Amino acid sequence: MRRALVLLSPCALFAGCRYATLDRATPEGSRITDLHWFMFWLFGAVFFAVMGSLAAALMRRGGVFSPEGERRRSAAVIWGAAVSCVLLLVTLGASVWAGREVATPTGPDTLEIRVIGHQWWWEVRYPAAVAAQEFTTANEIHVPVGRAVRFLLGSDDVIHSFWAPNLNGKKDLLPGRSTTESFRVERAGTYPGRCAEFCGYQHAHMGFVVIAEPPERFDAWLAGQRRDAEEPSNETQRHGLAVFLSGPCVTCHTIRGAGAFGHRGPDLTHLASRSTIAADTLPNTTGHLAGWIVDSQRLKPGNRMPPNLIPSGDLLDLVAYLRGLR
């Protein structure tokens, strides 16, 4: 049914339209989509009704004043107002109902994930009962399919907004306040997300991805992330680690188990396990990594990581090491 509506909708006029935000993978999202189409058709009708009567008013001839005509006119206006009243009440009802539906019931088995916004990347923490099992990652959020997830949102600098269009509405990350957002993903897959509140130069490149996977794969991922960083396995990588530790990198980046404890940039412990770098801006490949490290300002102007003058030999080893951080 919804498919049909989709096809009928005006955007069918526009070529190459992927239903980015209206194809929803969560019950919350689906309710919003329903509401969307409900309003679309209701207000479409209102629009054509009003425009129709305007056209009629213009066509109509011989509007000589007569008490009778006056009475008919006021009746029409009053009717219009009355109908509008009803429609507005219906809209209110639908909206409030959808609002309820969107508020995900979160039980004891709810997975809690802490997301902290930075200019212009996302710090993602997975709390755990045992402190040793807690870990931090960046820009890539894994969630289990079919289980409610609650995000505890906060900001380290300015206001950002957490938005995964296919999963649920957006919620701001406010400095000095804590907000939450929750949903339950029903379809495994990779869903784009991004920062929706203007937050400075690179607001345009502050994306993230939500990867929903079956519980067992998710648990495997958790286990992997909880481990310390991969030991350098060969000479090149060992030298790469040395470069990293001797360079400025350590002042900003953490690599658990490798003696780097910086906090101003993303945690790199399992960098290689991520599909993108710089907040969903570049694919995570050797070339992009090298380019990023040497001059991230060219790739993402204004971002908070300074360029680094590293001899090309060292650079290759460094990248080789980072690529090894599975």
β-pair type (260-261, 189-195) = unpaired
Return the residue of 7, 60, 129, 216 that touches another protein, per CB under 8 A.
Answer: 60
Query: What is the C-alpha to C-alpha distance for residues 229 and 252, in angstroms, rounded to an integer?
Result: 17
Q: Is 312 exposed, middle or buried (0-12, 13-18, 19+ CB in 10 A)?
A: exposed
Helix (H, G, I), strand (E, B) or coil at 121: strand
Q: Considering the rule CB under 6 A, would residue 229 count as an interface residue with ligand HEC? A: no
Question: Based on CB atoms, which residue is closest to another protein, 56 or 309?
Answer: 56
CB atoms within 10 A of CB 151: 23
Q: Considering the rule CB under 6 A, would residue 249 count as an interface residue with ligand HEC? A: yes
- Choose the one of ligand HEA, another protein, ligand HEC, none that binds residue 147, judging by a C-beta under 5 to 8 angstroms depending on kind: none
Q: Considering the rule CB under 8 A, would residue 46 count as an interface residue with another protein? A: yes
Type of residue numbered 184? R
The DSSP-derived string for 155-200 is ESSS-EEEE-TTT---EEE-TT--EEEEEE--S-EEEEEEE-S--S
Question: Based on CB atoms, which residue is closest to ligand HEA, 84 or 251?
Answer: 84
Q: Considering the rule CB under 6 A, would residue 171 count as an interface residue with ligand CUA? A: no
- Choose the one of ligand HEA, ligand HEC, ligand CUA, none that binds residue 121, judging by a C-beta under 5 to 8 angstroms depending on kind: ligand HEC
Return the residue of 41, 198, 201, 261 that touches ligand CUA, per CB under 6 A.
Answer: 198
Q: Considering the rule CB under 8 A, would residue 76 count as an interface residue with another protein? A: yes
Using the structure block, give the residue that is written with the tokens 């960046």.
Answer: 138
Residues at the contact surface with ligand HEC, assessed by CB under 6 A: 120-121, 138-139, 202, 244, 247-249, 251-253, 264-266, 268, 271, 274, 277-279, 289, 292-293, 300, 303-306, 308, 318, 322
